[in-house]
Structures are given as C-alpha cells and as structure tokens.
Amino acid sequence: MIALIDDFLSLIYPSVCYACGTGLVHSEDILCTSCLYHLPRTHFHRDGDNPVAQTFWGRVPVHSATAYYYFSKGGHVQHLLHQLKYKGRKEIGIFIGRQMGYELKQSELFNTAGLIIPVPLHPDKLKKRGYNQSEQFALGLASAMDIETDFTSLIRQKPSETQTRKSRFKRWENVKDIFCLTGTDHIAGKHILLVDDVITTGATLEACASVLLTIPGIKLSVAAIAFALH
C-alpha cells in the first residue's frame, strides 16, 4: 500500500535528480544513478600535490586540500550547487558530504582530522537564506568521518560583496579581514578540516585559513564540494 501511495504521489510531485533533472526511481535519492557515477569527480584526496592543494602554495600552509567534483559553467555540478545554495535543498550538502566523508576517512591525507569548520556566512545573509550551505556539507562529512563540527568559533564579522566576476586580487581584497575567532581554546593542537562549497581562486578559504592558523599547534586541511576549472 505504501509503495502504491508513493507511486501516486510521484506522478503529482515527481522526484527528480538535482543535477540533471531526470526522474528518480525508488532506489535513487538526490542524484540519479547516471549522475552518481558520471558527474566529474576529481579524486584529489588520493594526491597530496593536486590542483586544489597547489592553489594554496605560497599563500597559506595547508596540510592537505581536495574537492569532490570539478565545476564548469553550465554543467550539472553547477546546477546541483545552485539547488543547494539558492533553492533550499539542504539535503544535497549532507548527501555529498557523506559520500565524500567515507572516502576522506580512508585517506591518509585526511583521516587524522578531528574537527570540521565550515566557511561562515554573515548573520544577515544567514537570516535571509535560512541556512549555510557549507554547514550542511560539514554535517554530512562529520557523519561519515565520525568527527565533530564547530559552527561558532570562526565568524564572519563583516559582509562581503559577491565574488562573481572579481579577479583573484579583487576577491582577496573583498574577503581579507572579515573573519575572526571566538573561544578557540578547545581547538588548539587539532587537525582542522575547513570546508566550503566551491573553490574558485581560494581567496575566501585563504582568508579563513589565515585566521585559523593563529591558533596554537593546529594542522589545517581544506575540502570543498567542487573546484572550478580555469
């Protein structure tokens, strides 16, 4: 009976893949099987000198860095992230976080991480959007990796303009000095995983990392849902 009700509801409110828009079958969730296996994965967690890690070379001392997907304009990954960021589909962040977290837990580059900190939103933007997409990603990662999250120690004290169409230097100018720390004694000495949704130039993550690296004895790694192709 439940299956029949589900079938009936799916005709009225069809569940679709958040990446490509095709209808989902009973065994699928968030992504269709085709997108689950064919969205452009980076596998950067296997290589310490990958392009995401190279983004931070000479800028901030990051232990390891990775992203789950490649991001290209107009592609399925962009559509997936648009659903997460602007359409209230929080479950996308948790789903991808879990998928990625299972892999990071097996990676020698990331399996010593003990705390996940997402890039924070300014309170005004958080109130307007209703949630922080990077926090949802962090929740999924933490669930799979069996480690804690911290959503309060790193805060965005000033709003920033949109980063779209800004150069690398302008992006850095836009985000420098807008993050600060509060109550970080419990973080000292830990391996922190700093997470965001998309890495383009890395300016936002660099600004966050510069603040976090003032905490005594920490090791800092970075993970994102996607890495923009240049």
Position 177 scores a pLDDT of 79
Full-model pTM: 0.88
Position 62 scores a pLDDT of 97
Backbone dihedral angles phi then psi of residue 124, each to the nearest 5 degrees: -65, -45
Position 208 scores a pLDDT of 95
pLDDT along the chain (230 residues), means of 10: 44 78 92 97 97 96 98 96 96 98 98 98 93 98 98 88 56 71 92 97 94 96 94
Position 188 scores a pLDDT of 95
Per-domain residue ranges of the chain: 1-38, 39-228
Answer CATH for 39-228 from 2.40.37.10, 3.40.50.2020, 1.10.3720.10, 3.20.20.150: 3.40.50.2020
DSSP alpha helices (H): ranges in 62-219?
76-86, 90-104, 123-129, 133-145, 168-175, 203-212
